[in-house]
Structure 1
Amino acid sequence: MERKSFLDQEPPPGYIAGIGRGATGFTTQADLGGSRRLPAGSFAPEDDNNEDDEERFLDADDDDTGRFGSIGDDDDEADRIYDQIEAKLHRKKARPRKRVLKDAPKDENKVQPQDISIGQSIRTIGEEFKEYKEKLSEVSAEDWLNLPDSGDFTKRNKRARKEMQERQRFYRNSDFVTSGLRDVGSTGDQALLDEKDVDLTGLSAAKEKVLAGQLTSLRDDKAESVDAETYLSQLQEVPGEISTEIGDYHKTRTLFAKMRETNPYKPDAWIASARLEYEAKKYKRARELIQQGCEKCPKSEEAWLVNIEMNKHDVSVCKVIVAEAVRYNAKSVRLWLCAASLEADSISKKRILRKALEFLPRSSELWLEVVKYEDDETMALRMLQKATELVPGNVSLWLEYAKRGDSKQILEQALEKVDSADAHILWIEMAKEEEQRTGNEVKIGRIVESCFEHTSLDRETWLDIASQCEKDGSSLVARAIVFSSMNLGVSDDDKLDIWKADALERPPEISRSIYMFITSNFPHDIESWMNFIKMEKTLKQYDQLYVVYQMATRANPKYELFYLMYAKDKWKEDGDVEKAKAIIAEALEVNPESEDLWFAALKLRSGEEARELFAKCRELLGGKTARVWHKSVTFERQNENRAAAKNLAEQGIQHHPKESKLYLQWGQILEEENELAAAAEIYHKGTLMCPNRPLLWVHLVRAYEKLGNLLKARSILDQAVISNPFSDQIQLERVLLEERAHNRSQAERILATALKKLPNSALLWRQNILYARPSHRKNLYTTALNCTDDHPMIILTIAKDMWLSGKIARAKQFFDACYEKDAAYGDYYIHYYAFLMKHGTKGEIQELEARFTENDPHSGEEWCALMKDVHRKDTDLELLRKAAERAAGKT
């Protein structure tokens, strides 16, 4: 790039770099005061010999000139005025907010003003309203939501005027209407212009002129561009009274009249006008209009049909009309069918339909209709044969022909004539015929496979066809279609997931077929077998269910759960205990060391038979699992054999010294015998061997509490907290121990500390809600639910609290929410049963019992304690009823 020449030259005199771009400072006259402005560049450079520079600014403070010139008397006066204003404002701000009237006499009945600060006034007001603010905590959430909204009065008048304007109707007046009104005024009728006396006759005349102008404009081409056909067709389709469907009947009638006048050979206008009159209950006028329409438009099939419809009460008139109609519309299938329907006997119907076939020999509808009234089967077959020759591509004719003749031969013949897109219908019909005739599933499968070879439908379409076959009662055909269509359009990687999704969305028979296909191709897919079993149980098809169980156990003999479910359903649903025993015995042959199978076998037996089986089980599994020992102890306790139970518990502990349940059982037996000290010793041994089992610590504490040694109980709980720092069960026992010792304040302190340590414990939050005052409990609901992730225990606690508070509807909502959260929560059934006993119906109680039986609850403190009671003799449902009665008696 070429270098500019001026860069190498000397700058001109007085040049200052950047001054043209405003990059340097500048000096104004105001800066210099009254002195003369000097030109740029006239300043002498700094020089050591310039002696005046050091002293030239020393007199600035004493000078009367500033950057704005000299200071005069006017400036002094202005400053004085501003100072006075500032002083006055300062005095005004310094005044107290409330004046004290010193000279006024004091009245004890009046409020005396006081000189207080703003902060004191705020605190005083806060103290006055403190009592009312505390009462706000007792206001329920429903009361807050039901507070009325303040009315909006600011725009009430404006809103009223706007609504009045919206109700008003305005019309556009043309020039000749305006001039007409002016002429009326000029003739002496000045009352039109008077606000107090309006000439209604003149206004009516003006409106008529406006309407006449609008109707006249309909003749223009521009008016004809409006899509009137769409409006008329919609009007024909909408039934109902004219008063509710059409805003202004008279205007619409006039509009239709003008349309008929403009286009008299357009049938839609005549049809719409006739329907308008008919819906307005002016039947005579409607019939006259549609008759005129038929005369004007004799080739309109729809007009004749409407005419027949409006005269349907007089069959003779309808026959005359339809005879005239077919004379002009001999090719109308609808008119011929209408004519046949007007006849009462089959002979007349056949005569008319045969006449129609002379004009329309290739109408499949007429052929199918005439065959219906043919009594001679041979003649009907001949007619259908002729029909299939004239209309070889119509599937309905071939199906009717096959239905009356040799179906297999006719359908095979039809496959050569019909279009390939409709061929699958004939194949499926052949399969249905085979199912009705023989029920041979193999032959049906071959026919369906041939159908798939000659058609190209997708899998979804085939599944829809299979669903329709199921509705028609052809279950074997539906199954064959499912088997043949499952691999269409699916990859090997995704097919299992796709098949499972299809099985969940389809009707029962189709889903059953899909599951059969899945389990035959993937016999070891446990999820598919489980879904198959669940579906059959939902449908309560127990015969099918047992077949599925048999197939599942044969395909997966090592999977114990199938045997257990099979035996349980046989026992519960059929009451067949012997068959259940046989199922478990068969399972034990394949899985001889399965604990679950052994205990299932023991559950089906009682008395000496069960005792002998327990002995065999202990010999086989006693050294491997402690479960057989505490099951044996439970069995002996149920049979009131405490000595044998203690002996088994002691033997079990020798084999499994770290099994906490054996220590618990041994201690409970001793407590039943009133040997509290020995029981405490056994519990203590258990805590030494199993320090991380909170239930052992709890029983040990309660044993010492029963012995009257609260200090020992408290020290044991302290040890338990050290061994189990995050056990809410032990923390709750600390709270309950103080509660039982009538030390409520200490219990609340312990609970508060425990909640800080374990903020997500449902046990502790429940106790916290119970300790809270009724007016404060509502504030704890949301916090407890959020901290415990909507635990069913908290939901049930809220439901019970709502019930006790008298809020029955809200309580029921929370009971329902508890069921939705966990249907297997046993405590819900106890308290909801008690609730329904007082506030429910017999039907609701029966529904709850059905839920209980279906879900078989297995959780909940109260319910588990009842289930584990070794002395109970009741069934689960009886146990529930008794527990609910006790709960209802406490409320």
Structure 2
Amino acid sequence: MSGMHTQAQSAPGAQEPPAVSFNAMAVPSNYVPGLGRGATGFTTRSDIGPARMTPEMAAAQQGAPGAPAAAPAAPPKEEKKPEANDAEDDSKFDHFMGNDAGALAGTFGEYDQDDREADEVWEAIDAHMDDRRRAIREKKLKEDIEKYRKENPKITEQFADLKRKLAHISEDEWNAIPDIGDYTRHKKNKMDILTPAPDNLLAKRLAEKESMTSISVGNGLDTPAGMSTNLKAIGEGRTQMLDVNLENIAKRMGDSASGKSTVDPKGYLTSLDSVQLSSDAEISDIKKARMLLKSVINTNPKHAPGWVAAARLEEQVGAMPEARKLIMKGCDLCPHSEDVWLEAARLQTPEHAKALLARGVSYNQTSVKLWIQAARLEQDKQAKSRVLRRALEKVPTSVRLWKAAIELASEDDARVLLKRATECCPQHVELWLALARLESYDNARKILNEARRALPSEMGIWIHAAKLEEANGNKPMVEKIIVRAIKSLSDNQVVINRDVWLKEAEAAERADPPMVNTCREIVRAVIDYGVEKDDWKKTWKADAREALDRGSVETARAILQHAVSVFPGKKSLYKALAQLERQHGTSEAVAEVLERGVKYCPQAEVLWLMAAKTKWQESDAQKRESEAARRAGDEKAAAQLLQQSRELLEAARGILYSANIANSESEQIWLAAFKIEFENAEMERARGILAKARATLANERIWMKSALVERERGETDEELKLLNEGISKFPYFHKFYLMLGQLEEQRGSADAARQAYQAGLKRCMGSAPLWRSLSRLEERAGMIGKARNVLEQGRLKNPHNSELWLAAVRVEQRAGNIKAAESLMARALADCPKSGVLLAENLAMAPRPARKAKSLDALKECPDDPHVVAAVAQLVFWSDRKVDKARSWLLRAVQLARGDNGDFWALLYKLESQYGNADSQKKVLEEMRKAEPRHGERWQRVSKDPANAHASSETILKKVIIDMDKEAAP
């Protein structure tokens, strides 16, 4: 319209054109209704248009804009060609635009200059990227082609080297090539194929020949017309087959000279089971294998493996005569192959085998295998020795023959043979060492020197020399020999492999008798080879740990002793060595290591404590022996042992006194000094030590132990005072509130005890023992509801706490509410599915028939939890009297708990008391004493009872068992 207005203005005298209606005007191609005012909508198929342009659309494009297209005249009818249904007119197809340049060109935009420039840019980019990748692509293609040709070579390439060798063979060699024969498969003449006669013709012929008794099969399975089943022929056939089978069995089992069958009538049916029946497929495979091997031996009769394979095939199918025949033919054609003679001897009887091997040896005089087999066939020891010595005349350099001959000889003859063997085989170290073992000390030294000159790079000779010197008491020479060995081997360009030498040290330790000095000197000589100086400590500790895992105690001890000498100020090395001596050594060795450790590491608290504990344990051991002597009536020995116990106790006190001087602010040393006095019932000394500790240190455990001493003395007022002081100084230490509540309960003041527990819970809300103690107080007062509420509050404050769930379940059990206990247990397991204590309690609550199923569920959830393992051992295996399994599972529970749970030790001791013997019970007590258990529900309940404050671990163990029996009693 703008164009129209411009034209009217430029020609003022011209006649104005008629007005055009706005609604009749053509819509612009990019017009979107309402887009200018922000309106949007969805697009339908009518907006886009059909995929193919209709004739109306084509006409509208060609006509005036806005005017409807006239209906086209109907074209004259023409005969339709069949190709019109299959393809479009090729003239409308453009190779770049496709069909968009034909009938569909009107529905899309034109291909303008911008499109052409964009395509040129993309083509340039594609060409550039193609140039960049061309070298990589061509290289990869070349590698793929080479790899394919390598994996799939041509026939000419495979035999190229053989064809080149043909140029150098002589005429005689060419003529000696055997003829392969004609094995081609010829096409059979069709006239040779015989068509079988029809069944009715055969039946008719049989009917004419003889009369038959026949039956017909009815019910839809009738035989064809003219056919019948000959029962007589079937019976005769079965009889013949049975006769043939019996004859074969008789031949297989053998007949006597008198003609009587050796078939055992009783074992006949049993022997039929051993008859191997081959299927059609197996028979076909055997035939194919036989044909193939026949081709092999006919093509190349000098090929020994072919004859061996053919003989073994016949042996496998049971044709032993044919197998022997084939292998003997192979011996004739391949007389210089030892494998053929060995196979022939194997297939023959021993007597014939000897003759065969004699023939074979005549062709193969240097064959060690034939001589060894010939010696094995001899039954007499002297005959074997004679064969071997004759073999050594032919093959004097065979170490195998020398060893076999020496094994059969006496000591004197062996010495002579070994001397000759070292002359014939001087490079074999085993012969030298064996000769040295048989000789005297002086002669052995000479022999080892000769061996060292013959084999200067053999470390075994030097190590054997060191062992020889140690075995004869010349221990100073061991160090010299090992040092000289390292230097000599290094000079002869031998690499010193540290791991190999350490293995030799372990082997020396395991020798009979053990060569301890040789082991130690080897360790000292090679321990730092190939290890950086910064890594010495870490590497040596790892070496010692690995040696201990393999059971090589002396090697580990030598490594740690060397490490301590190199690093005298490292407390971890002293600790590791002291633990080794405690497990595998003596108390004197432990004391010596720790004494040296505290000398070089005076600030190491752990070494002082270990030293004092060692003396204290020795004192307890002497005290137990004194009591045993007193019970036996030997008062003198008892008094002497008791005096030794007191001296050791004084030594422990002296060690702790020195430790306190070096570490005056060490809490562990103060508590260790207190524990020694407390366990020995020296209350005044214990009070004095704790008073000094309180003046020196501000530690909650010091105040707790002080209150414990006052409880032991019966001074309740002083105990109350100390607890109140401790609460004022350490308000978040929950054990003060526990002890205060227990004190108030002991004094009969339930309200004061309740207040103490509640005050503790305000500050120590996460303490499960406080919640349990308050609940137990309410339960003893007869208020079960309050006890439940306390534990419910505890679980709300401490979610997923298995101890509080277990306490709630036991409250219901003690109240007799079994259903409520089971319901609580189900909720507890849902909240804490991986809790071992809950799973063990659930197993104990289950009736006996359901315990196995629940034990499987518990083990599936927590297979390595000690509580679950102990519960299964007690409630499943022990109750079913499976003692061995119960014992092994209880031992596993003890190991999983690292020996720290006294309840498991009590179960194990109870089992041994019921089913074991005195030795097993004593072993359990000794292991328990070494482990020093401190945890366990029953163990802590018994050991923390003031009445058992000074009881030994054996006494506490037995009281725990009594507590178990009381709980198990109805």
The TM-score range, normalised by the shorter chain, is 0.5 to 0.7
Partners in 2 of 1:452 and 1:268 — Cα distance?
46
The one-character-per-residue Cα deviations of 1:626-676 (angstroms, maximum 9, x if unpaired) are 99xxxxxxxxxxxxxxxxxxxxxxxxxxxx99934544654676698xx9x
Distance 2:66 2:517 in 1: 117
CA 1:708/1:865 → structure 2, altered by over 3 Å: closer, same or farther?
closer
Q: Deviations over 1:797-847 (max 9, x none)?
A: 445445889727828635468656533554633774598599987799777
CA contact (8 A) 2:723 2:736 kept: yes
The corresponding residue for 1:261 is: 294
Evaluate the alpha carbon distance shift between residue 671 and residue 416 of structure 1 in structure 2; reply closer, same or farther with a 3 A threshold.
closer
Q: Does 1:396 align with 2:430?
A: yes
Shift of 1:692: 3.6
Moved more, 448-457 or 606-615: 606-615
Per-residue deviation, residues 362-384 of structure 1 (Å, max 9, x unmatched): 33333455556666959955x65
1:425 counterpart residue number = 460
- Offset at 1:253? 5.3
Please point out which of 489, 500, 506 is paired with 1:467.
506
2:904 to 809, 816, 829: 829
Deviations for 1:492-546, whole angstroms, at most 9, x for unmatched residues? 2333322222222234133232222222222333333333344444446767656
- Distance (Å, rounded) in 1 between the aligned partners of 2:377 and 2:947: 82
Give the match for residue 435 of structure 1: 470
8 A contact 1:781–1:798 mirrored in 2:
no
- 1:360 alignment partner AA: V
Q: Which amino acid aligns with 1:813?
A: V
What is aligned with 1:759? 799
Kindly provide the amino acid, as one letter, of the partner of residue 439 in structure 1: K
Aligned to 2:449: 412
Out of 192, 195, 207, the residue aligned to residue 183 of structure 1 is 195
Question: How many angstroms apart in 1 are the aligned matches of 2:944 and 2:319?
Answer: 82
**Is residue 720–residue 740 contact of structure 2 (8 Å, CA) maintained in 1?**
yes
For 1:632, the equivalent position in structure 2 comes to: none
Describe the SS at the equivalent of 1:331.
coil
User: Letter of the aligned partner of 1:877 in structure 2?
Assistant: E
Aligned equivalent of 1:577: 645
CA distance in 2, matches of 1:541, 1:197: 98
- Indicate which of 823, 826, 830 corresponds to 1:779: 826
- Name the residue aligned to 2:610: 562
The answer to whether the aligner puts 1:807 opposite 2:851 as a matched pair is yes
Please show how residues 213-292 of structure 1 align to structure 2 within 5 Å.
254=287, 257-264=290-297, 265=301, 266-272=303-309, 290-292=327-329
Residue in 2 that maps onto 1:591: 659
Conserved in 1, the CA contact under 8 Å of 2:829 and 2:838?
no
Distance 1:569 1:814 in 2: 29
Q: Provide closer, same or farther for how the CA distance between residues 403 and 864 of structure 1 changes in structure 2, counting only shifts above 3 A.
A: closer
How far, CA to CA, are the matches of 2:709 and 2:681 in structure 1? 23
SS at 2:359 equivalent = helix
* Structure 2, unaligned runs of 5 or more: 1-24, 32-43, 68-185, 204-219, 234-273, 626-643, 813-819, 856-866, 872-889
Distance 2:310 2:365 in 1: 26
- The match for 1:148 is none
C-alpha distance in structure 1 between counterparts of 2:322 and 2:575, whole Å:
70
**Residue pair 2:344, 2:356 contacting (<8 A) in 1 also:** yes
Secondary structure (helix, strand or coil) at the match of 1:807 reads helix
Q: Are the aligned partners of 1:769 and 1:780 in contact in 2 as well (CA < 8 Å)?
A: no
The Cα shift of 1:759 comes to 1.9
Residue aligning to 2:761: 721
Q: What displacement does 1:332 show?
A: 0.3
CA 1:556 to 1:274, structure 2 compared with 1: closer, same or farther past 3 Å? farther
Are the aligned partners of 1:533 and 1:549 in contact in 2 as well (CA < 8 Å)? yes
Q: CA–CA distance in 1 between the matches of 2:65 and 2:909? A: 109
- Deviation of 1:175 after TM superposition, in Å, equals 11
1:591 partner SS: helix
In the alignment, does 2:359 pair up with 1:324? yes
Question: Take 1:835 and 1:180, find their aligned partners in 2: how far apart are those partners?
Answer: 93
Please report how far the alpha carbon of residue 327 of structure 1 lies from its aligned counterpart in structure 2 after TM superposition. 0.8
1 CA distance for matches of 2:546 and 2:189? 69
Going from structure 1 to structure 2, the CA distance change for 1:319 and 1:753 (only over 3 Å counts) comes to: same
Q: Give the residue type in structure 2 aligned to 1:751.
A: L
Measure how far apart 1:342 and its partner are: 4.3
Pairing 1:503–2:544 present: yes
Between the aligned partners of 1:251 and 1:573, the Cα distance in structure 2 is 82
2:430 partner amino acid: S
| Matching residue's letter, 1:503 | A
Distance 1:689 1:763 in 2: 29
Given the superposition, is the C-alpha separation of residues 802 and 524 from structure 1 closer, same or farther in structure 2, using an over 3 Å criterion? farther
- Structure 1: distance between partners of 2:841 and 2:488: 63
2:935 equivalent to 1:859: yes
User: How far did 1:563 drift?
Assistant: 0.7
Percent identical residues: 20
The 3 A distance-change label for structure 1 pair 362 and 837 is: closer
**Which residue number corresponds to residue 362 of structure 1?**
397
> Residue 528 of structure 2 aligns with which residue?
487
Moved more, 241-250 or 546-555: 241-250
Aligned to 2:565: 520
1:885 to 962, 965, 968: 962
Preserved contact between residue 372 and residue 388 of structure 2 (Cα < 8 Å): yes
1:476 corresponds to which residue?
517
Q: Which amino acid aligns with 1:728?
A: A
Please give the alpha-carbon distance, in whole angstroms, between the structure 2 residues aligned to 1:470 and 1:716: 63
The 8 Å contact of residues 411 and 426 in structure 1, kept in 2 or not, is answered as yes
How far is the alpha carbon of 1:456 from its aligned partner?
0.6
Q: What are the residue-to-residue correspondences of 1:521-670 with 2, within 5 Å?
A: 521-539=566-584, 548-549=593-594, 552-553=597-598, 555-556=600-601, 559-568=607-616, 570-571=618-619, 577=645, 580-581=648-649, 583-584=651-652, 587-588=655-656, 590-593=658-661, 610=682, 623-624=695-696, 659-663=703-707, 666=710
After TM superposition, the structure 1 stretch with the greater mean CA deviation from structure 2, 699-708 or 386-395, is: 699-708
8 Å contact from structure 1 (residues 277, 283) kept in 2:
yes
Check the 8 A contact 2:738/2:770 in 1, yes or no: yes
Using the TM superposition, name which of 242-251 and 531-540 deviates more.
242-251
Q: Aligned partners of 1:176, 1:834: CA distance in 2, in Å?
A: 90
- Do 1:448 and 1:480's aligned partners in 2 also have CA atoms closer than 8 Å? no
Query: Distance in 2 between the 1:479 and 1:17 partners?
Result: 101
Query: Residues 483 and 617 from structure 1, CA distance in 2 versus in 1: closer, same or farther, beyond 3 angstroms?
Result: same
Higher relative contact order (CA 8 A, sep 6+): 1
Say whether the 8 Å CA contact 1:831–1:884 is kept in structure 2: yes
- 1:883/1:371 Cα in 2 relative to 1: closer, same or farther (>3 Å)? closer
792-801 vs 457-466, which moves further: 792-801
- Give the drift of 1:601: 7.1
Pair 1:703–1:601, CA change in 2 (3 A): closer
Structure 1 gap segments, 5+ residues each: 1-12, 45-173, 202-240, 628-655
SS of the residue corresponding to residue 947 of structure 2 reads coil
Residue of structure 1 equivalent to 2:637: none
Q: Is the 8 A contact 2:707 2:719 kept in 1?
A: no
Distance 1:408 1:883, change over 3 A: closer
The answer (yes or no) to whether the contact 1:424–1:451 under 8 Å persists in 2 is no
Q: 1:688 to 1:245 in 2, by over 3 A?
A: farther
Residue correspondences, number: 667
